[in-house]
Amino acid sequence: MQLRSFNERKSPGNNTAGFLLCLCLLICASNPARAAGQEGSPDREGVQSVNSFQFWQQPPCIEPSRDFEVSVEGSNVPVYRARVRAEILTKPGLWSHRPNAPAESASFAILDLAKPARISVRPSRPFSSAAVLPKNAGVQCEVCDGAIVFEISRPCHLTVALDGSDKNPLHLLVSTPLPTDELKASRQVIRIGPGAHDTGGIKLSSGQTLVIEGGAVLRAVMPPEDKGSYSEQWHVTFHGGTVIEIRNAENVRVVGRGIITAAGIPHPGWNMIRIEDSRNVTVEGITLLDAANWNVMVNNSENVNIEDLRIISARLNTDGINSVNSRSVSIRRCFVRNHDDGIVVKTIASARPAADITVRDCTLWADWGYGLGVTYETRSDVRNVIFERCNMIFARHWNLGIHVSDSGSISNVVFRDIEIDDLGGTGRTNDARDALGTEPMLFRGVITSDVWGHDAERGRISDVAIENIAIKGGRVLPSLLSGFDDSHMIRRVLFRNISLTDRGFLADASSLRLTAEKFVDDIRVESGKDTAAEQVR
């Protein structure tokens, strides 16, 4: 059965009534979906439980992986293919992708874990070595008869990489089981059960909870009458829309273990989740695949919690989680692999400062742009931002950064306790991704004028700390600081306790490969237990 939400041309009353009617029919029609050939029993609709872990059989619209088999405590778990790194169409204006453009593959599996479990991963291709990342997860693996075997003691997001390569990895998305009362349908709790469901967009109102069950796939389908809007500036056709929209609402939740895919939406197209002019919103536990534009946009909102969200995207402009002109936003325990900035703060509107943003315990894989930071559109001030206890498995360009293209001032930003695995060797990809640089960087702080900015005046950067950063690869990743002019400078930046495997702390700008260019002031490097600091500029 297909779920079809009504598009924006309908009246609000018709939207709500039709949407709830479809959902009511869906709930009544749902049947338990047991994974064929597995031991154990489904304890509620669509859930397969074996020895205190749970998984779901996805519908045929999610392609199975041919690259890996995964078993947990001897029971096979479904593994699926995700498109990553779609081939880029370089052209005047906005770079894009041809329809059905070739792409690399990554595999992923989704499961809930209630207690420690032994996992076996069997790749279909020959390999010499394997690693379970991030390294600070402390998961040690061994290879037994062609299988990679390890134990995990707690829910976490892990990546299995073969032979030190960033090609064709396996992403294991492991969570704590949701309370069963989250899944009960009521007037305010809307449930999407197992199966494939098409939607032209869902709008949520105050007080509503949307549960996308494990085994459910919500597919974004563009209305036939939507021809898009061609931009002379960018030489591309934009398609506006959102799969899940929360606007002018409060006390809203989106939870579950289901999947949302926008594979059928042309690039550049819809946002996956848009939270706008709202407060007290929670998004937790779902997986977003193949976005056509920004995955999650939190715009002019406050008290927003995003937790255990999983994102895998292949196309350009698919920023992971963008907190835009918002306040009191918490982002925790998310996995983000995408083809643009990972988790960043922006201020697209003027006179609407962003403040008190925390990003903690997240794992990122950045195939393009910045992994973590404050980036590009910065028309209002940004202050009090913390990125803490995060893991960067891979970054093609810049692991961390602050990039000011507009007039806003960025201050009191901390990058702390971050591990950089630096998977994949040199970073050069011999394709369009090399256009932004041939070597990944640790930190890039710049004030500049570019196509993403709108203001005539530039902003400023001050009071930034990059501390307790562990680089686990075999090379020092360079860093760059560059201001704009005497009135728009970068001031008071501290690099403290930056370490490299086998070399320990990097004690000065030279060993850090830190370049402080024009219009920067009061840049310091501290290391280890030393109280003395090198004054770079």
CA distance 504 to 436: 29
pLDDT, one tens digit per residue, over 43-93 is 455 566 666 789 998 888 999 999 999 999 999 999 999 999 999 999 999
pLDDT, one tens digit per residue, over 381-428 is 999 999 999 999 999 999 999 999 999 999 999 999 999 999 976 555
Relative to beta strand 209-212, strand 479-482 is unpaired
- The answer to whether 467 and 494 are in contact (CB under 8 A) is yes
CA distance 347 to 186: 37
**Is residue 274 included in any domain, yes or no?**
no
**Is residue 399 included in any domain, yes or no?**
yes
| DSSP letters for 417-453 | EEEE--TTTT---SSGGGGG-SS-EEEEEEE---TT-
CA distance 189 to 212: 11
Query: If we measure between CA atoms, which residue out of 396, 274, 282 comes closest to residue 329?
Result: 282
**Is residue 192 included in any domain, yes or no?**
no
Report the pLDDT value the prediction gives residue 100, as an integer from 0 to 100: 86
- The answer to whether 82 and 289 are in contact (CB under 8 A) is yes
Reported residue count of the chain is 537
Query: If we measure between CA atoms, which residue out of 275, 268, 131 comes closest to residue 203?
Result: 275
Report the pLDDT value the prediction gives residue 282, as an integer from 0 to 100: 97
**Is residue 106 included in any domain, yes or no?**
yes
**Is residue 145 included in any domain, yes or no?**
yes
**Is residue 15 included in any domain, yes or no?**
no
Q: What is the mean pLDDT of residues 443-453?
A: 94
505 SS3 class: strand
Of 274-278, 356-360, 501-505, give the lowest mean pLDDT range.
501-505
- The answer to whether 383 and 412 are in contact (CB under 8 A) is yes
- The answer to whether 181 and 189 are in contact (CB under 8 A) is no
CA distance 343 to 388: 12
Name the token pair of 402.
């602050």
Within 8 A by CB and 6+ apart from 402, the residues are 373, 374, 375, 410, 413, 444, 445, 446, 461, 464
Q: pLDDT class for 224, splitting at 50, 70, 90? A: confident
Relative to beta strand 534-535, strand 520-526 is antiparallel
**Is residue 143 included in any domain, yes or no?**
yes
Last residue of a domain, one of 122, 145, 175: 175
Last residue of a domain, one of 119, 146, 175: 175
User: Is it true that the peptide bond before 12 is cis, omega within 30 degrees of 0?
Assistant: no
Report the pLDDT value the prediction gives residue 433, as an integer from 0 to 100: 73
% of the chain residues with pLDDT over 70: 86
Q: pLDDT class for 35, splitting at 50, 70, 90? A: very low
Report the pLDDT value the prediction gives residue 426, as an integer from 0 to 100: 52
Supply φ then ψ for residue 75, to 5 degrees: -105, 130
**Is residue 442 included in any domain, yes or no?**
yes
Total number of domains constituting the chain? 2
Of 201-210, 358-367, 424-433, 447-456, give the lowest mean pLDDT range.
424-433
Q: Is the pLDDT of residue 242 over 50?
A: yes
Supply φ then ψ for residue 513, to 5 degrees: 60, 45
pLDDT, one tens digit per residue, over 158-214 is 999 999 999 999 999 999 998 876 556 567 999 999 999 999 999 999 999 999 999
% of the chain residues with pLDDT over 90: 78
Q: Which residue has the higher pLDDT, 267 or 435?
A: 267
pLDDT, one tens digit per residue, over 62-74 is 999 999 999 999 9
CA distance 377 to 391: 25
CA distance 343 to 135: 20
Beta strands in 166-249 (DSSP E): 170-175, 189-192, 195-199, 202-204, 209-212, 216-220, 229-231, 236-238, 242-247
Query: If we measure between CA atoms, which residue out of 117, 133, 27, 33 comes closest to residue 78?
Result: 33
Bridge partners (DSSP) of residue 105 are 83
Last residue of a domain, one of 132, 149, 175: 175
The CATH number that applies at residue 82 is 2.60.350.10
Whole-Å CA distances, 61 to 35, 58, 97, 346? 16, 8, 22, 34
* Domain of residue 53, residue span: 48-175
Q: Which residue has the higher pLDDT, 35 or 314?
A: 314
Relative to beta strand 259-261, strand 287-289 is parallel
CA distance 432 to 436: 8
- The answer to whether 463 and 492 are in contact (CB under 8 A) is yes
Q: Is the pLDDT of residue 438 over 90?
A: no
Report the pLDDT value the prediction gives residue 58, as an integer from 0 to 100: 83
CA distance 415 to 241: 33
Name the token pair of 9.
């041309």
